[in-house]
């Protein structure tokens, strides 16, 4: 490519904590005055779910979510694709079907060529098209640091909403993309990746969770979320707390992108990943002698990660097989038990 966003000069503010935001802002945003309870608000601010859900009729509800961030890859077209795939994902995680989107643009129009912005928008537009989502508008402001994202609306039958709050003991946990994205993109900013590695992590982030979401609808799913800014253990903790269950993670089964540990050892662990670890360390038990790098990797802040699905154990193998047959990089990475509820045990 001839132009890029020169993200090496930009700071990253950490990833998406879904409906609310990064962990350090979450408390402020959650302390909003309590609005009058509305029976149509099926999923609101009181849970750590991916998107809000508002019932319109007995068989139709809106799913609404928004996400935006600073560039995480150099290629502006790819950045647009990543931003769109990431923003849409929260609708999939709730069991919804995305239908419309609005662009959110902050851009230094006097210092960065407008062709770069056009590429970002083209990338997002192509990803929306792939997802079957109609762009209905957007808003832009002049800003020193480029930021891009989307507000996405979907629909769902209220009976089919998937939240973090109904995982059941005995469920298996399926993850549909490998982790290590935060460490890889941090390494990308430091010029530590090969072209092949850049392509690999970019492809992963631009992959929609559409196939995974559509496939899981045919199985008994009890809970689902997507793995994004809080990392695998952070989002698993939302299921543990929300469903009042213990989550067990088999660390050997968790797929991690190649060379992530080497890059982490070389100093590429993002601050957001370390914050994630600090945020949940009190509710996680690791095997004795677990390397600190491995703890961080399990907490690594992800952009546009996979779905984390709690599926009835009788359906787990069949769902896994269908996901893999359709080309999804899915793995069974753990299970749900009734034990130390609200807690995560890494094995």
Q: Which residues bind Co ion (CB under 5 A)?
A: 16, 18, 50, 67, 90, 226, 228
The residue (of 93 and 319) whose beta carbon lies closer to Co ion is 93
The count of C-alpha atoms lying within 13 angstroms of the C-alpha of 170, restricted to the half-sphere facing its C-beta, is 8
As a whole number of angstroms, the distance between CA 5 and CA 155 comes to 34
Which residue number, 50 or 171, has a Cβ lying nearer to Co ion? 50
Residue nearer to Co ion on the CB measure, 74 or 228: 228
The CA distance from 30 to 240, in Å, is: 19
The answer to whether 160 and 118 have CB atoms below 8 angstroms apart is: no
Both tokens of 28, joined, read 């402020």
Alpha-carbon distance of 184 to 274, in angstroms, equals 15
The token pair that represents 316 in the structure block: 């787990």
CB 234 within 8 A of CB 302: no
Task: Supply the minimum distance, in Å, between the C-beta of residue 93 and Co ion.
Answer: 5
State the minimum distance, in angstroms, from the CB of residue 150 to Co ion. Answer: 11
Residue 16 CB, nearest approach to Co ion (Å): 4
Neighbours of 169 (CB within 10 A): 14
In the bound state with Co ion, the residue whose beta carbon lies nearer, of 75 and 226, is 226
Phi (first) and psi of residue 139, to 5 degrees: -150, 140
Least Cβ distance, residue 30 to Co ion (angstroms): 15
From 5, 7, 16, 308, the catalytic residue = 16
- The SS3 of residue 219 is coil
Between CA 74 and CA 84, with CA 80 as vertex, the angle to 5 degrees is: 135
Establish whether 299 is a catalytic residue: no
Q: Which is nearer to Co ion, 65 or 251 (CB)?
A: 65
Active-site residues: which are they?
16
């Amino acid at each position: 490519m001839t132009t890029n966003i020169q993200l090496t000069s930009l700071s990253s503010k950490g990833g998406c904590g879904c409906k609310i935001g990064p962990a350090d802002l979450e408390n402020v945003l959650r302390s909003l005055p309590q609005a009058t309870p509305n029976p149509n608000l099926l999923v609101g601010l009181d849970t750590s779910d991916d998107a809000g859900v508002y019932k319109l009729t007995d068989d139709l509800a809106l799913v609404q979510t928004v996400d935006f961030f600073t560039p995480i890859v150099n290629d502006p077209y790819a950045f647009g694709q990543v931003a769109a795939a990431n923003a849409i994902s929260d609708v999939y995680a709730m069991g919804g079907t995305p239908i419309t989107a609005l662009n959110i643009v902050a851009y230094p129009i006097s210092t960065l060529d407008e062709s770069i912005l056009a590429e970002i928008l083209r990338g997002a537009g192509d990803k929306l098209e792939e997802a079957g989502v109609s762009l209905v508008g957007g808003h832009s402001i002049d800003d020193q640091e480029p930021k891009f994202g989307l507000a996405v609306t979907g629909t769902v039958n209220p009976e089919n909403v998937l939240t973090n709050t109904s995982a059941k003991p005995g469920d298996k946990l399926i993850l549909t993309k490998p982790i290590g994205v935060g460490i890889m993109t941090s390494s990308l900013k430091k010029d530590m990746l090969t072209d092949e590695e850049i392509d690999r992590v970019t492809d992963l982030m631009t992959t929609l969770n559409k196939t995974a979401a559509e496939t899981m609808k045919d199985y008994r799913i009890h809970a689902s979320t997507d793995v994004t800014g809080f990392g695998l253990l952070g989002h698993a903790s939302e299921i543990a707390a929300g469903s009042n269950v213990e989550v067990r993670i088999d660390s050997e089964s968790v797929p991690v992108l190649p060379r992530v540990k080497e890059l982490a050892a070389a100093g590429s662990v993002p601050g957001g990943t370390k914050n994630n670890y600090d945020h949940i360390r009190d509710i996680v038990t690791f095997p004795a002698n677990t390397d600190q790098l491995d703890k961080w990797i399990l907490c690594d802040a992800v952009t546009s990660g996979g779905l984390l699905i709690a599926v009835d154990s009788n359906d787990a193998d069949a769902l896994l097989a269908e996901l893999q047959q359709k080309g999804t990089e899915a793995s069974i990475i753990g299970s749900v038990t009734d034990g130390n509820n609200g807690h995560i045990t890494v094995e």
